[in-house]
Structure 1
Amino acid sequence: MSGMKFNQINVKMQNSQLSEDEMDEPSATGKSGARASYLPAAWEDDTRMNALFTEFRARNANTAGYDNKMKFWVDVIDACVVGEDMVTFSAAELREKLQRKGKKPHCIPAVLEEMHRSKKFITMDQFFAASQESWVAWGFDSLVKKPFSFTTGLLFGSSSLDGDKTRYISLDLVKAKAADVVDRAQSGILPSSALDLATFNELFGDIVSGPALPVVLKHLQRTQQAVVTDLDNQEHATIKFLQRGSASSPRHKVDAKISEADRGVIAVRRSLKKMEDEAAAMHTKVEELDAEVRSLVRAGKKPVAIRVLKKKKLLEKALAQKDVVITNLGNMLFKLENSESDTKVFETYKAGLSALKKTQQDTSLEKIESIVDDIQEAVDIQNEIDEALRSPLRGSGDDVDEDELDRELKDLLEDDATGNLIAELESLKVADNEPIPAKPVTPAPAKRDSSQRGKTGFTQ
């Protein structure tokens, strides 16, 4: 993870670099003045709270008073961190959260330093630098080569204990969120053990996101529950869980590295998502063109209506072809996700062979040949899919007659009042390869019997 550029995964910590006057965090009291549920009843006592909001005096001046005040704030901060789900935070952010009647507590930095000394909280520097030897082998060697203190200033401000800007981490929350992620991952929700960042966010975004994401991922990697790579590159960031399971199958360990097969699954998944987005945009465009054709038909603008109708038909054909590719990619992804490794396939065959020997002692050559034929059929199907994906898009070759289009557009006018416009529009056929004129071509006026004028609704 070169440089730890977490901004690529939406890790935005601007608040840590703002002054208290610039910050606009919602307070624990709330706009309505109601006290947050995690705050003690003493929060309503103006006299006591005014005293508690002041700076600490020397402990030797009043040991009991100092200790009581410290305990009060330790409990409040602990409750606030949990109640506000603050995996990572600074004194400035806590002062903003815990403001009361427009006043902010001045003693928060001193309390955080005490909680840090008692190992309740840990600084960001310490978290990312701790126990390097135990997790270098799990993919964080690039981070070890550049200690986190080198890069943390780029994202989180100063890395030293400078009061308001020092960033702390709640280890209890980190462990809790990591456990929730692992529990969900082992419930059978994973499409595959290796995920790209977008898929991870879709599956676990309600548990962890934003500034907490790299912290929780680091914990999962350090505890050997996941492998994480390339977090500085959103296109290539990969998270691989090292255990999988579901309600119907036992948990099993997976290869503790991101293989080419894993990257292949992720590449297909990304391609499928891109194709689906493109198809959705094309569908919207088809609907817009359909509405435009209807409007032009009603307005009697025949040449323009024909041109737009051709564009709509061509787009519909392209959309149908894209749907075929999407289906093929979906089938391929399903097969890849259900056959993640050669080892798993081998174990499946071995288990099947054992069961076959126990239940069918009279296995014959014909049965074996039948199995081989089934396997060959599956391979042939896959080859057909591959060939379809490699084939260029081709038009249907249908020709279109301008006179036929003219007649059908006239019929649309006659049937519009009866509500059959949609069905008639969908029945029109347009060739893929017919050029679309850049400008409308106005036909020369035709001599017609006066009794026939006005029937088509087009201006001659």
Structure 2
Amino acid sequence: MAMTLPLEWDDDERMYFLFSAFKRSRDVDSADWDSKIAFWIPLIVKHAKAQGLLSITLRQVQAAFTRNGITPLGLETVVQEMLRRGSLQRESDFTTSITSGWVSWGLRQLVVKPLRWTLGSVLGGQLNLDEPFVVPEVIKEQADLVLQKYQSSPLSSVPLLCEEDVHGLCKDLIPSQSAFQLVLLQLLKDKKICLLQRDGEKLVKFVKEGNVTPIGDTDLGIYELQKSEKLLSERLESACDESTRLTEEAKSFNKAGNKRQALRCLRRRRLSEKRISALQSKLDTVQSILERISMAETDRKVVSAYQIGVSTLRSALKDVSLEKTESLVDQIQEFCDLQDDINQTISGVGTSDLDMDTDELERELNEILQTEEVDLPEVPTGPLITSPQRPPAGHQDNNTAMDMSGILSALPDVPSGPIPAPPAMGQSNQAAAPQAQRALPQ
């Protein structure tokens, strides 16, 4: 990935100053010294990140920042200042800074020996141009990426891995073997992995559930079983391929008329099938053991969760007993009964004056109903119908019958006796009463 150079890089006057050599001492001109240091240190770290360089040399830095054929004169001073501040570290200092008292293994034999490192001595006050210097900030970022890649891969379910498997997992990030060793050291420093060298094999155990424990006999036993499973699977696949090949050869020889060779191929195929059966049986046994170990681990976690739950429940019920609970229930019932009595007493206040005889209330209701005036319908003011119009014989109009029935049903019932004349009425009203009586239907 290409690095974006600062805007000052195109300013010839500014770059002439930054490419010049440092003063003999910072005390001579502190502003000159600090200005150059503030420019070059972040730029070198940025270059290492952009190129994915876990370690750099002075020669590489000089080549990377050559401008118009001119190499900065003060880069050696910059690198020395970065070493003093910790922005760079010698590989020897980086490896010896790893504390591994919590895991038993030979650090020098496991990691340091494969590294490409030198003593890094200063010869005549000058740095070795080809001495590698570790960039801790870049190594830290790469170590985090390796851990994330492991956690998101199918290998995360495997408790113990060989170094080759881990490097193969992140080879696209860190192709160099020596750089990968530095990343392992950083993960070890951060206590994200545990390392062990056994029978010339380097084993890696990643952090689980927030912590990492030293590699024990259980981890080694599971690792050996998984190696056996892998080996048996490979041999079983090879035996199946051989059986298939022998079958095809037998067919080919038989077709060519070479029956003797065909029978020999079938004989070898039977031996291969017996080997397949034996390998399959062993593989099933190993896989069954691994499955039981996995179930045992799950059961252990469940039992641990039960223990935590019991402990929490015990703490929650520490001050609670059956006798205390019964006493509290009795007190609650007692106060509820008391509240009911209080409510009953409050609801009966002032109601004695309102208590009256039910018979007296019924008599009062009857009197009100007897004296209540009944509203009669108003007398029509239009002309009265003297006689209904009847249709001709044999014909009946349904609409007319419906209209007449509606009119008749709207009229009030006629009393059976004579209708008395209304009091204080004029003579015209008295004459109209008999006509109204005749107009009503019988």
- Distance, in Å, in 1 between the alignment partners of 2:251 and 2:66 is 60
Verify the 8 A CA contact 2:120 2:128 in the aligned structure 1. no
CA 1:338/1:306 → structure 2, altered by over 3 Å: closer, same or farther?
same
CA distance in structure 2 between the partners assigned to 1:239 and 1:126 by the alignment:
23
Q: Indicate whether 1:310 and 2:267 are aligned.
A: yes
Matches within 5 A, 1:244-263: 244=209, 253=211, 256-263=213-220
- Report percent identity of matched pairs: 20
Change (3 A) 1:330 1:115: same
Q: 194-203 vs 273-282, which deviates more?
A: 194-203
**2: CA distance between counterparts of 1:262 and 1:193?**
7
Which residue in the other structure is 1:88 paired with? Answer: 55
TM normalised by structure 2 equals 0.54
Matches within 5 A, 1:280-319: 280-319=237-276
Q: Do the aligned partners of 2:9 and 2:15 also contact (CA within 8 Å) in 1?
A: no
Partner residue of 2:163 out of 197, 207, 213: 197
State the match for 1:371 in structure 2.
Answer: none
- CA displacement at 1:115 relative to structure 2: 2.3
Match of 1:137 in 2: 101
Change (3 A) 1:50 1:308: farther
- Return the offset for 1:260: 0.8
Please tell me the residue identity of whatever aligns with 1:176: E
Deviation at 1:86, TM superposition (A): 1.6
Per the normalisation by structure 1, the TM-score is: 0.52
What's the CA shift for 1:187?
6.0
Q: Residue 247 of structure 1 aligns with which residue?
A: none
Evaluate the alpha carbon distance shift between residue 52 and residue 322 of structure 1 in structure 2; reply closer, same or farther with a 3 A threshold.
Answer: farther
How does 1:351-390 map onto structure 2 within 5 Å? Answer: none
1:265 aligns to 2:222 (yes or no): yes
Aligned residue number for residue 385 of structure 2: none
Distance 2:223 2:48 in 1: 36
1:40 aligns with 2:5: yes
Residues 88, 315 of structure 1: CA spacing in aligned structure 2 closer, same or farther, 3 A cutoff?
Answer: farther
Question: Does the CA contact (< 8 Å) of 1:272 and 1:326 recur in 2?
Answer: yes
CA distance in 1, matches of 2:11, 2:242: 62
Alignment match, 1:117: 84
Equivalent residue number for residue 317 of structure 2: none
Query: Post-superposition shift, 1:164?
Result: 2.2
The correspondence of residues 169-208 of structure 1 with structure 2, limited to 5 A, is 169-183=134-148, 190-201=156-167, 203-208=169-174
| Maintained 8 Å contact 2:174/2:180 | yes
Deviation of the 1:117 alpha carbon: 2.5
1:222 matched to 2:179 = no
The answer to whether the 8 Å contact 1:122/1:168 transfers is yes
Q: Do the aligned residues in 1 keep the contact of 2:254 with 2:262 (CA within 8 Å)? A: yes
2:200 and 2:73 map into 1 onto residues whose CA distance is: 40
Letter aligned with residue 88 of structure 2 = F
Is this contact kept in 2: 1:194–1:241, CA < 8 A?
yes
1:268 Cα deviation (Å)? 0.7
Contact 2:116/2:178 (8 A) holds in 1: no
Select the residue among 218, 227, 243 that pairs with 2:208. 243
For 2:132, which of 167, 176, 179 is the aligned residue?
A: 167
Query: Which of 156, 159, 184 pairs up with 2:117?
Result: 156
In 1, Cα distance between the equivalents of 2:8 and 2:233?
53
Instruction: Check 1:239–1:141 CA distance in 2 against 1; reply closer, same or farther (3 A cut).
Output: closer
1:191: how far off? 1.5
Q: Which residues in structure 2 correspond to 1:431-442 (within 5 Å)?
A: none
Aligned residues: 304
Matches for 1:394-433 after TM superposition, within 5 Å: none
2:179 aligned with 1:212: yes
- The residue type equivalent to 2:145 in the other structure is D
The equivalent residue for 1:127 is: 94
Q: What is the distance in 1 between the residues matched to 2:13 and 2:248?
A: 68
Instruction: Give the letter aligned to residue 138 of structure 1.
Output: W
Point out the structure with max Rg over C-alpha. Answer: 2
Shift of 1:127: 1.2
Deviations 1:362-418 (A, max 9, x none): xxxxxxxxxxxxxxxxxxxxxxxxxxxxxxxxxxxxxxxxxxxxxxxxxxxxxxxxx
Q: For the residues of structure 1 that align with 2:241 and 2:66, how far apart are their CA atoms? A: 49
| 1:57 partner SS | coil
- Inter-partner Cα distance in structure 2 for 1:165 and 1:307: 65
Counterpart of 1:384 in structure 2 is none
Identify the structure with bigger relative contact order (alpha carbons < 8 Å, sequence gap 6+): 1
User: What displacement does 1:197 show?
Assistant: 2.7
Could you say which residue in structure 1 is the equivalent of 2:418? none
Q: Which residue of 2 aligns with 1:57?
A: 21
- Take 2:6 and 2:114, find their aligned partners in 1: how far apart are those partners? 39
Distance 1:282 1:303 in 2: 23
- Distance (Å, rounded) in 2 between the aligned partners of 1:67 and 1:202: 44
Does the 8 Å CA contact 2:105/2:196 hold for their aligned counterparts? no
Separation in 1 of the partners of 2:17 and 2:235? 59
Hey, what's the Cα distance between the residues in 2 that align with 1:300 and 1:160? 78
| Alpha-carbon distance between aligned partners in 2 of 1:37 and 1:87, rounded to the nearest angstrom | 16
- Verify the 8 A CA contact 1:91 1:166 in the aligned structure 2: yes
**Where does structure 1 lack aligned partners over 5 or more consecutive residues?**
1-35, 245-250, 358-460
- Give the aligned partner of residue 46 of structure 2: 79
- Aligned mates of 2:248, 2:17 — CA distance in 1: 67
Instruction: Return the letter of the residue paired with 1:165.
Output: D
1:334 to 264, 267, 291: 291
Question: Any conservation in 1 of the 2:8–2:15 contact (CA below 8 Å)?
Answer: no
Q: Provide the rounded CA distance (Å) in 1 between the counterparts of 2:243 and 2:32.
A: 74
Structure 2: stretches of 5+ with no match in the other structure = 315-442
Q: State the distance in 1 between where 2:192 and 2:206 align.
A: 6
